[in-house]
Structures are given as C-alpha cells and as structure tokens.
Amino acid sequence: MSDAALPTVAEVRAAAEAVKAALDRHLAAVESRIGDDDPDVYAAFNELAAAAEEFDELLYDRYDEVTPFEIPTPEDGLPYTGPAEPAAFSVLIRRDYAVVEPARLIAQAERVVAHDREAELAHDGGTADALGVLFGEYEPDEIASRAKDFGLEEGDSTLWIAASEEVAEPGEWLGSPFTHIDPQDVMHRFDVSSVFDEDEDEDEDGDGDEGDDDAGSAGGGASAVRGLTTA
C-alpha cells in the first residue's frame, strides 16, 4: 500500500475510540440482558465485532501491527435475533445436482410425457425441458431420493427455517421469493455435504482407535447432515 493510501493517525485513533464505545455498549447490554436470546446483546456483539475488525485493519495498514484478540464468528453465521415464538415461518431449501447422465434424464421425461397428456417436451426436448417435465410430475423429495434413476448426482443441500412476523399475503413475494429473508431471522438450518464426511474422517485419523466407535454414525453414504440451531 502506498503512503497516499495509508489511513491517517486520526482515522486509526477514531477506530480505537469506536472499539471502546462498542465495548461499553456490549457490557451494558450484557448487564441488562433479558433471557439467553436477548436481541440487544446480539446486536451489541455484532457492533463490537465490526468495530474490532475495522480497527484491526486500520492498525495493520498504518503500523503493520495487529491486535492480540479476535472475536469469533459463529459457525452457523449471523446469530438469530427474531422472535422467540414466531407466529409464522418460511422454509427455504436449496439442493444442487450434477447432470451425469443426460440421456437417462431425458428418457425419464419422455416416459412421463407418454403417460401424461398434460406433460410435454417443448423446444428441443433437451435437458432443460426434461427437468421441467420431471419436476412438474414428481415432488422434489422423490427426485432427491431417486436422483440416480434420473441420471443426477446430488451435491450440497441446505434447509433454512426463518421466522416471519405474519403469513404473507397470497402472491406477495412470488415475484422475488428468495430476497426477503434476513439471515438473522433464520432459526434453524440443516446442511448436507460430503465435506462433513471429510471432516469426520480427519477427526477419526487424529483420534486413532478412539474414533472407531463413531465411524459412519453421521448418516453414512456420500453425505452427512449437520444441523445448526441459531436460536
């Protein structure tokens, strides 16, 4: 970084003062907290983390020095700050697939079309059209359970349960269904990924014989489930 781009001494000192103020606010929130899930405590924590990170960056840029402390980020992302007893909630699901056998996928769609007058393969009848037919015919859970039958290979998946103040009006969010969820409204999430199996394998290798009793207990197969509760 050039000298011209370096933060000024005043900017570093201002960031330090911001950390001090955030520390005071966090302590005050903790001292007056109401229950384990007090949103004021979570908000003060996040403000303190942001202020500390900003100070650390400016300190490093200006003096090539770092702070001796670090505020950890929760493994499951931002803390939940929604209501303890939500009146409504939304379920968001993402499942990734690789199309490993396009011919099998298209053949399955053609079978559906042959037995369902309302189904049709439009355009060129390729993979994109086949997916429209299959997801129109089968529930997503059935496709997930029979992925290989459809020429698909499962990738990562996640399910989020997010709190809402009230049930949305019919059609209210259909134009943009995935952009209105605040990460801090997510009460629970359940992730499925083969990376969790890799983590467990590394732990077992490090534990020696002690890991044998737990081998395969996280779901087996190619993926394991990790449930993360943020509330």
Residue pair 60/66 in contact (Cβ under 8 Å)? The answer is: yes
Name the percent of the chain lying above pLDDT 70. Answer: 75
pLDDT at 155 over 50: yes
Q: Note the Cα 31 to chain centre separation in Å.
A: 31
Q: What is the largest CA-CA distance in the chain?
A: 75
Residue pair 35/83 in contact (Cβ under 8 Å)? The answer is: no
Q: Which run of H or E residues covers position 201?
A: helix 194-207
**What pLDDT is stored for residue 209 in this prediction?**
47
Any bridge partners for residue 99, and if so which?
A: 152
Reported as a single tens digit per residue, the pLDDT across 70-115 is 665 555 556 777 888 888 999 999 999 999 999 999 999 998 888 8
Compute the average pLDDT of residues 47-62: 89
Amino acid type, 207 = D
**Cβ count within 10 A of residue 186:** 24
Name the percent of the chain lying above pLDDT 90. Answer: 35
Amino acid type, 73 = T
Reported as a single tens digit per residue, the pLDDT across 164-193 is 888 889 998 888 888 777 878 888 888 888
Tokens 């997801």 sit at which residue?
Answer: 135
- Plot region of 136 (φ>0 → left; ψ -120 to 50 → alpha; else → beta): alpha
pLDDT, averaged across the chain: 80
CA 39 to CA 180: how far, in whole Å? 20
Closest CA to 26 of 47, 10, 8: 47
Residue 6: helix, strand or coil by DSSP? coil
Compute the average pLDDT of residues 189-205: 73
**What pLDDT is stored for residue 67 in this prediction?**
85
Higher-confidence residue of 190 and 220: namely 190
Residues 6+ apart with CB under 8 A from 228: 75, 76, 188, 189, 190, 191
DSSP tag of 162 = E
State the Cα angle at 119 between 115 and 125, rounded to 5°.
105
Residues 6+ apart with CB under 8 A from 145: none
- Most confident listed range (28-37, 99-108, 190-199): 99-108
Residue 192 CA: distances (Å) to CA of 102, 162, 211: 24, 18, 21
CA 82 to CA 182: how far, in whole Å? 10
